[in-house]
Every structure is written in C-alpha cells, then in structure tokens.
C-alpha cells in the first residue's frame, strides 16, 4: 500500500494535469467559430465556441429606418442562435477532454 505522501503527490499531479488540459481546452474554444443566423440569413453573428462575439453582418436590404425594430429583433435572434451553437460546441469539446481523461459520461469537472 502506498504511503499517504505518495497518494497525496499522485492526487496533486492528477489535479495539475486536469488543470493543464482544461486550460488547453479553453484556449481551443477561443479558436473555434460558430455562426448564428436569423431572418433567413439576413442577419448573421459569428462567435467563438467560448461565446466571444467576433462579428455581425446585416444585409443591406434591412438598412432602412422603418426596418429598425425588425433589425434589432433579428440581431438578438442571431446572437441567441450563435450562443446556442457555441454552448453545444463547447460541451462537445469538453466531452472529448473528459473522455480522454477516462471520466464517466455526465461527470462535470468544476468550472464546466
């Protein structure tokens, strides 16, 4: 049987490995892009899988004062679509990391 010190050292090393892998996963999420759309693609929002907004495109046909409310609604809808896709992509990537660590499905690490 291992000594208590060896067990503590092994647990600390495992925690450091998990922390490193989580940091790498978070960095990777910043490089993955998703695109949300609304109004049949008239408004598009690009975001990182981590949820950072990268850009917004609004079709020229919507750039009329009388379309202001509709544009605002479409931007909000496109943002929410991008956020949903970012959340799904993030969950996918985190699941890959957890699988690589041998953790059981559905096990959530702190901060996830």
- Which comes out higher in pLDDT, residue 91 or 107? 91
If you average pLDDT over residues 90-111, what whole number do you get? 68
Domain residue ranges of the chain, discontinuous segments joined by +: 31-100
Rounded CA separation 3/46 (Å): 52
In terms of Cα–Cα distance, which of 29, 42, 100, 35 is closest to 70? 42
Q: Which residues contact 42 (CB under 8 A, 6 or more apart)?
A: 58, 59, 61, 62, 74
Is the pLDDT at 64 greater than 70? The verdict is yes
CATH topology of domain 31-100: Ybab; Chain: A; (3.30.1310)
Q: How far apart are CA 112 and CA 22, in angstroms?
A: 9
pTM of the model: 0.66
Residue 26 has a pLDDT of 82
Asked if pLDDT for residue 85 goes beyond 90, the answer is yes
User: Do residues 50 and 89 make contact, with C-beta atoms less than 8 angstroms apart?
Assistant: no
Residue-wise pLDDT tens digits, 8-51:
888 888 888 888 888 888 888 889 999 999 999 999 999 998 88
What's the pLDDT score for residue 100? 66
Percent of the chain with pLDDT over 90: 47
- Per-residue model confidence (pLDDT) at position 104: 58
Q: pLDDT class for 112, splitting at 50, 70, 90? A: very low
Is 103 within 8 Å of 21 (Cβ atoms)? no
Contact present, 22 and 6 (Cβ < 8 Å): no
């Amino acid at each position: 049987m291992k000594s208590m010190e060896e067990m503590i050292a092994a647990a600390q090393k495992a925690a450091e490995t998990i922390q490193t892998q989580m940091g790498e996963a978070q960095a990777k999420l910043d490089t993955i892009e998703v695109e949300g759309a609304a109004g049949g693609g008239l408004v598009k929002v690009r975001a990182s899988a981590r949820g950072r907004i990268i850009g917004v495109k609004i079709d020229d046909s919507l750039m009329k004062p009388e379309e202001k409310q509709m544009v605002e609604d479409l931007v909000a809808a496109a943002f929410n679509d991008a956020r949903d896709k970012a959340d799904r992509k993030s969950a996918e990537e985190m699941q890959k990391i957890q699988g690589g660590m041998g953790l059981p499905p559905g096990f959530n690490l702190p901060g996830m």
